[in-house]
């Protein structure tokens, strides 16, 4: 079984500041890692994903994440945030093998960007 | 064009009633899912179908019954609604059943049970 912990429930930040949203996972098998974003009253949309290969993954809207196998982490970063990045961010893990499309989500981190 | 659509967007009903939520995807995907997002925003998978075959069935009360008439549609029927069923229900789809796939989410159905 796998689990995901997002270490911060809320992250307030000023516009144009850098931000890091932290995610740790646990799994007994190889994993696929995802970050999704949910804007108010909308469904989730994919920001980026790590399947294999380079541990630094770039996504949409200037976000990137780094897979660290030894620390079982997949932290999301953006060097300079905009007001429009205000949303809730979910880290998710999918496992290989017989788990098929089952994604396990973290509890979410609310990012609030202040002017 | 909407990729994954759900109807209705809002559903307010009394305890004990039976209701259905419909989901359709026009992406040509083989796999569809139902998720429940509770009041604390925790998102948990309920069911998944691949080409009309049930492949994921989490620990969900049997008052919840999914139905997939074809691979583009996945409906959720809920019998004898309870207060605890109040949540936002999301439908999603992916190209196939692999865990490596991006899942595309619908806008959600906010269910309120009074």
The pLDDT tens digits of the residues spanning B50-59 come to 998 898 888 8
The pLDDT tens digits of the residues spanning A43-82 come to 899 999 999 888 999 999 999 999 999 999 999 999 999 9
Across all residues in chain A, what is the average pLDDT? 92
Cβ burial of B98 (10 Å; 0-12, 13-18, 19+) is middle
> Could you tell me if B51 lies within 8 Å of chain A, comparing CB atoms?
no
> Could you tell me if B88 lies within 8 Å of chain A, comparing CB atoms?
no
A2-26: average pLDDT:
95
Cis peptide before B8 (omega within 30 of 0): yes
Residue A98 confidence class, pLDDT cut points 50, 70, 90:
low
Q: How far apart are CA B24 and CA B67, in angstroms?
A: 12
Q: At residue A99, does pLDDT exceed 80?
A: no
Residue B41 confidence class, pLDDT cut points 50, 70, 90:
confident
Beta bridge partners of A23: A6
Q: How far apart are CA B35 and CA A103, in angstroms?
A: 10
CB of A61 closer than 8 Å to CB of A85 = yes
**pLDDT for A17:** 98
The pLDDT tens digits of the residues spanning A26-38 come to 987 778 999 999 9
> Could you tell me if A42 lies within 8 Å of chain B, comparing CB atoms?
yes
Q: How far apart are CA B48 and CA B29, in angstroms?
A: 13
Q: Would the CB atoms of B4 and A43 count as touching at under 8 Å?
A: yes
């Amino acid at each position: 079984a796998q689990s995901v912990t997002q270490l911060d429930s809320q992250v307030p930040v000023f516009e144009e500041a850098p931000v890091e949203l932290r995610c740790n996972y646990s799994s007994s098998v190889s994993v696929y890692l995802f970050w999704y974003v949910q804007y108010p009253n909308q469904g989730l949309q994919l920001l980026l994903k790590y399947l294999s290969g380079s541990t630094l993954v770039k996504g949409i809207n200037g976000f990137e994440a780094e897979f660290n196998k030894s620390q079982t982490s997949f932290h999301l970063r953006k060097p300079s945030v905009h007001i429009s990045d205000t949303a809730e961010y979910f880290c998710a893990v999918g496992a290989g093998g017989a788990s098929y499309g089952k994604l396990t989500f973290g509890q979410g981190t609310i990012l609030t960007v202040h002017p | 064009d909407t990729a994954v659509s759900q109807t209705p967007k809002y559903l307010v009903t009394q305890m004990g009633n039976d209701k259905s939520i419909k989901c359709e995807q026009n992406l040509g995907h083989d796999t569809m899912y139902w998720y429940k997002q509770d009041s604390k925003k925790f998102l948990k998978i309920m069911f998944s179908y691949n080409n009309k075959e049930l492949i994921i069935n989490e620990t969900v009360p049997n008052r919840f019954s999914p139905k997939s008439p074809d691979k583009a549609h996945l409906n959720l029927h809920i019998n004898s609604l309870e207060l605890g069923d109040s949540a936002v229900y999301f439908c999603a789809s992916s190209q196939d059943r692999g865990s490596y796939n991006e899942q595309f989410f619908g806008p959600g159905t906010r269910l309120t049970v009074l």
